[in-house]
Structures are given as C-alpha cells and as structure tokens.
Structure 1
Amino acid sequence: MNVKITGIGSYIPSEVAKNEHFGDHHFYNEDGTRFGNENTVIIEKFKAITGIHERRYIPKKLATSDIASFAAENAIKNAGINKEELDYIIVAHNYGDVRHDSVQSDTVPSIATRVKHNLKIQNPTCVGYDVLFGCPGWIEGMIQAYAFIKAGIAKKCLVVGAEALSRVVDPHDRDSMIYSDGAGAAVVELTDEAGGFLSHFSATYAFEEAHFIFFGESNNLERKDARRYIKMYGRKIYEFALNNVPDAMKTCLDKSGVGIDEVKKIFIHQANEKMDEAIVNRFYKLYDKTTPENIMPMSIDKLGNSSVATVPTLYDLVLNGELEGHAINKGDVVIFASVGAGMNINAIVYRV
C-alpha cells in the first residue's frame, strides 16, 4: 500500500491586477524616504527580476477560509471520495481571515474549522487544524498527512494551502507587487496504486534567519495607524534560498533512492523567477549536471506569489494540462520544494 495524491483542486481568483495597477503608488524605502526612480522604472526593474507581469486578487466579499473551501471542494470532487470519510483537514496559511478593509486578522476558530464547516462535514472524528510554516506550509501539511497515514491513524486527509496576501501588503512598499491571492488543495489517501511519496525533508533555520520575513509598519512614516504589514529582507532571503534550498532538495532526492535523471518536473514555490531558476540550476550542479529544459513549470508571471498556494495550484494546472508546454504522466517522478518565513525549507520526492 502507498500514500498518494488522489485528488487535486485549486481556486484562482478572477480579478487580475497587472503591473500597471501600481503606476500611481507612492513607494518609500524602509527609512521613509521616497524612491528616486519613477514608477515606470521601478515596475520595469521589478518585472525583470521577479518575472511577474500580473497577479490575482480575491473579491472584497471573500476571505482566506472561503477560497480554501473552494479549492477543497474541487479536490474532493476530483478524488471522487465521500467527504465524511476524511480523517484530517490540514490548512496551511499565515495570516488567517483578513476581511476587506479590516486591520485585524481573525484566526478563531481556525481556518481548518471554517473549511470543515463550509464543506458541511458532520463527522466529528474528522479533525481540522492549521499549519503556520511560512510559504512551505502546504508541503509541510502534506508531509504531516503522509505521516498520519503511514502511522495507521488516518486513511484519507485533505491538505489545503490558501492565502489572501493582498490584504496584508503595504501599498507604499515596492515588495507589495510580489504578492497575490489563491488556494490549492489535495486529497491524500492510502491506496494500492503504485507510486506516491518516496521521501521528504524539512528544516527550520532560526538562529540568525528567524526574522527575514516579519510583520512591520508601513514604509510611509506619515501613516499613523496601528496596522502592520508583511515585510521581508529580500536580499537576505535570496542568498539564504540559494545557499540552502538546493542542498535540501538533494538530501531529499538522495533519501528517495531515485536518480537525478529520473526527475521529470520540479514544482518549486513561485517566489521569484530569477531566484527559482538559480535554485534549480544550483541543484543540478550538485550532481554535476546541466539543468534540463522544461524541468520547472512557472506560474508566477500570471499568478504572482500566493505563498502556500503556489505549489498545489501549479501542480493542479500541470496535471490538468492547463500550463502550455508542461505535462506529467503516470509513473513520473516529481519534486515539490519550498522556502519561506521561519526560515523554513522543505521538499518531497513523489512518483505520480
């Protein structure tokens, strides 16, 4: 018996915010001084580095728990299971439900509890809880589901990654252009089908790196409200990711017993196009290999960085033939990998 993904689903918001959306923003540095360049120059440089042309935002009437529920419904339908048979609902997020025009995050009850409520699941032994693990949260939730099933205490788990980052960004911070909203979900089951989880690896670096991503005040020092926003030290994160993620991926692959040449796709957290390309190139260099063409699907150009939702959403798109030039087939070996606040890193080697 193996542990496999039997259903996948996502929710991609319909509201498109192109880079031009930021044309009239007033951007400030961390010290409160205005950027010297015109917004057109700032936006063009941003696009060249991140690869982002546009991102998606959820409608004002929705919150994170709503879109998590939409993705969960799609995954359950795709798996063809009875939702009452779910043993666990694990929801990865970082900021809870932030309602439109609200300054407060709502995390009571948990997002997982809200998802279970929205799905109208009556079974009390279907346990719901949240995972706060930065952008790698969905992958970590998948590892936990795998562990529950391997331990014999669960047979079916639902793992959701959802975030509405548009609600927690500082409009005066250039980094606000990176973030987006979205949700992805997977049903994980014990099955007699071949394949499934081959290995996993996780790590937390918190000695010097704990606060590379944090909640802070607006870069516009004239704003006197008490609201706090997602902030990051971009250069430090970039260097951290390049120095640590390739090694984590190698550790995971070596544990799996699968050779590097068997890997068909790498589904890496959609954080920054240039950073992701550099990570994958360094990963292959660890094996004295050149990065194969078309190994890394990318959705960041259209969908931006939706944190925990990027990997499951990307996998859903490729699995269903909705990302041009990319496909996966039964028996293919793929790698899921992510890096984010904590600073956390994780990876899964998986046979489709």
Structure 2
Amino acid sequence: MYSRITGTGSYLPQKVLTNHDLERMVDTSHDWIVSRTGIEERHIAADDESTSDLALHASRRAIEAAGIDPQQIDLIIVGTTTPDRMFPSTACLLQDKLGIKSGGPAFDIQAVCSGFVYALSTADQFIRGGQSKCALVVGAETMSRIVDWTDRNTCVLFGDGAGAVILQASETEGIISTHLHADGGYKDLLAVEGGGCGVNRAGTPHMVMDGTAVFKFAVGVLDSIVEETLSANGMQKSDIDWLVPHQANVRIIQATAKKLGLPMERVVLTVNAHGNTSAASIPLALDTAVREGKIKRGETILMEGVGGGFTWGSVLLRW
C-alpha cells in the first residue's frame, strides 16, 4: 500500500507587506532584500486570524481539489511552530472547524521550517501501516507574531500563510521515500528563547537568528539530503523532474538546484511572493505549481527543507 497526494490547497492572508513598506520601518532597502533573499513581499495575518484559520482555508481548497467528503479524513497532522494555543493542538482546532466527526487522530508536529516534511512523512507511515486511509496534512504559520519588527535581520524574511494536501491510500506509488534528521547541537542559531514552560520563560518572545551560520548550515545539510535521497532509491540527479524546496532564501534554493543539476526552470520558486512562511512554504509552493499546470502526473518531485532545531529532511514522490 502506498500513499498518494490527491489534492492540494493554499492560503495567504489579504494584508501584503512589501519591501518598500519595510523601508519605512527599519534601516533596509528593497534592492538589498531582493539581492540577498529574493523576497519582494510577504503576507500578514489579520488581527482576528489565527494559524488554524489559515489552515482552514488551505484545507478546504485541498479537500475540494481531491473531490472528497471531509468526513473521509481519518487523520489530521498540522506542521506549525506558531500554534493558536499551548493546547489543544492546532490540528484539533482545525478538525472542529472542518466539522470532522470521524474520531481519527489529530495532532501537531513542531519542526519549524521542516514541519511539513516531518508531517507528510508521518502521515505516509500511518497510511503504509494501515492505520489511515485519508490524511489531511497541513503546514500553517503566523510567523509575524514571533518576529521582532525592529530587527532588520529577521523581520524582512518572514510571512504568514498555509498550505495543505490530502494524502490517500493507493495501490499506485506516490510517496517513494522520506528522510528526516535533527541535530539539537545547533539549537541557538535560530530560536525563540522566551515563552514555553522552561526556566527561561522571561527571555525574548521573538525570533533570534545567526543568519550567516544558518545559511552555511542549510546549504551543507541540503546537499547531503539530496545525495541520501537519490542513493536510497538508486536514482540519478537526472531522474528528478521538479524541486519543490522550502522557500527561505533564493540563494539557498539556487545552491540546491545546482547540486541537482536542475535549471531554475525546473524549480518551484515562490519565495518572492510570500517570504519564508516556515512549515507552510513547501505546500504553498506545491499548490502554486499544481494549479499553474507546471507539475504533471507521472513526474518525480523532490521536496526538501531545513529549520530551527536544527531539523532537516526530504520527501521524494511520484506525482
């Protein structure tokens, strides 16, 4: 038994924050942001929008695309680092908002920017193991709530959004393999030090990042995850039709594409339109490419991402 994506959906909040808007907030410029990151604008959740609301919009679109009844969904996994509440999980809140009464499990996964890859891998295991037949897998974030809007090194990078997929049991191969890793030794390079239930709850509730170190780490582990994924499946770089990467920084994406020998025309690139939306960025990019008709059935797709923790991973699938 395989698991196969049968529908995709995404959602971006209506409010747009451009680079020119940021020029009036911090010491930066449109040209500097674009040259270093490729980002031109990002979307910001409204005051009355929570992560579960963004997830709801994306989920409804994925459900519609898959042509299923929401009551068929027997598993919900939400990748997020910006949950509505400490508990219940955002997945439980989403289950309620969708009116799903199947009683199937619903839970969150916190792997920051790798969250969707982790969530999709977990759902794949549920389906392969026979515990689920129809899963809703979501990446959703309101990163604007943990950004320090006076820190020009981080506030230019992040935005809000959600992406979702329906993953169903199938006799036809869909997800080929997934590969997940973490190394907590790099915990201080990208973190929110305050909040939580630890002894340092009084620390900053905003994100802090060593940008140069994060860039070097990301390029290195994404190189290795590409090699691992191809080797595990006896595949060559030329077997990959599309790269759907975490949308963090265009320079990191270009480095990964070069490693694969893929022209940028075969890379799904959406970071310019929404910035780094953490766990939401891969499903956002995937939905964009599917709805634009770029990705065709039968093509081979590599998804990969790296996030604070550090966590990193990949999903190889046949569309």
TM range (shorter): over 0.9
TM-aligned CA distance change 1:242 to 1:39, over 3 Å: closer
Paired residues of 1:116 and 1:128 also in contact (CA < 8 A): yes
> Within the alignment, does 1:93 sit opposite 2:72 as a pair?
no
Aligned residue identity for 1:8: T
What displacement does 1:153 show? 1.1
Aligned residue identity for 1:310: S
Runs of 4+ in 1 over 6 A off after TM superposition: none
Aligned counterparts, 1:1-352, within 5 A: 1-26=1-26, 39-40=28-29, 43-97=30-84, 106-124=85-103, 126-174=104-152, 175-192=154-171, 194-207=172-185, 209-216=186-193, 228-281=205-258, 283-284=259-260, 290-321=261-292, 327-352=294-319
Q: Deviations over 1:180-226 (max 9, x none)?
A: 0000001111123x33011111110122x122111148xxxxxxx97
| Aligned equivalent of 1:30 | none
2-structure distance, mates of 1:331, 1:315 = 15
Paired residues of 2:257 and 2:264 also in contact (CA < 8 A): no
Secondary structure, aligned partner of 1:294? helix
Paired residues of 1:199 and 1:253 also in contact (CA < 8 A): no
TM-aligned CA distance change 1:293 to 1:165, over 3 Å: closer
1-structure distance, mates of 2:204, 2:299 = 46
Aligned residue identity for 1:85: Q
What displacement does 1:319 show? 0.5
Higher Rg: 1
What displacement does 1:85 show? 2.1
What displacement does 1:39 show? 3.5
Count of residues in correspondence between the two structures: 311
What displacement does 1:156 show? 1.0
2-structure distance, mates of 1:227, 1:62 = 23
Unaligned runs of 5+ in 2: 195-201
2-structure distance, mates of 1:53, 1:255 = 37
TM-score of the pair, normalised by structure 1 = 0.85
Unaligned runs of 5+ in 1: 27-37, 98-105, 218-224, 285-289
1-structure distance, mates of 2:264, 2:182 = 31
Secondary structure, aligned partner of 1:177? coil
1-structure distance, mates of 2:35, 2:264 = 20
TM-score of the pair, normalised by structure 2 = 0.93
2-structure distance, mates of 1:349, 1:146 = 12
Secondary structure, aligned partner of 1:198? strand
| Aligned equivalent of 1:29 | none
2-structure distance, mates of 1:23, 1:333 = 40
Q: What percent of counterpart residues are identical?
A: 28
What is the alpha-carbon root mean square deviation over aligned residues? 1.7
Q: Deviations over 1:9-55 (max 9, x none)?
A: 111222111101112224xxxxxxxxxxx544xx4322211011111
What displacement does 1:306 show? 0.6
2-structure distance, mates of 1:244, 1:16 = 32
